[in-house]
Amino acid sequence: MDDVGPQVPGERLRQLLPGRHHREAEAEAKAVAEVLEAGRKLDPKYLVWWLERKLPHRWGRDRSDLVEIKKKLKDLEVQIGEVKEDASGAEQSTQD
């Protein structure tokens, strides 16, 4: 009979895991290198994209406009809720 490895459930997976982190790190490094190369050779927008995500505090787009829009949206939702409550209250008072 051939030796097919350990018979303990999950043992093969446990044998593969230690190298997984190394392989993921290699894949990440390769992806970053390709993005940087594309930025140099094809279009600088790839470099901008990488910088915005890697160092958002230094290169990220100003999101103050987004924060302001979200606040205004929340205010509008509150106002709409108040209008709906007023409308439902008015309907109830006419039915009494």
87: domain range?
62-96
49: three-class secondary structure by DSSP: helix
Residues 72 and 28 in one domain: no
pTM equals 0.43
Residues 18 and 54 in one domain: yes
In a domain, 3, yes or no: no
Q: How far apart are CA 5 and CA 19, in angstroms?
A: 18
| pLDDT for residue 95 is more than 60 | no
| pLDDT for residue 12 is more than 60 | yes
CA distances from 78 to 7, 70, 84, 89 (A): 62, 12, 10, 16
Residues 14 and 54 in one domain: yes
pLDDT for the residue numbered 41: 94
| pLDDT for residue 26 is more than 50 | yes
Q: How far apart are CA 54 and CA 4, in angstroms?
A: 44
pLDDT digits (tens, 9 = 90+) for 74-86: 999 998 887 777 7
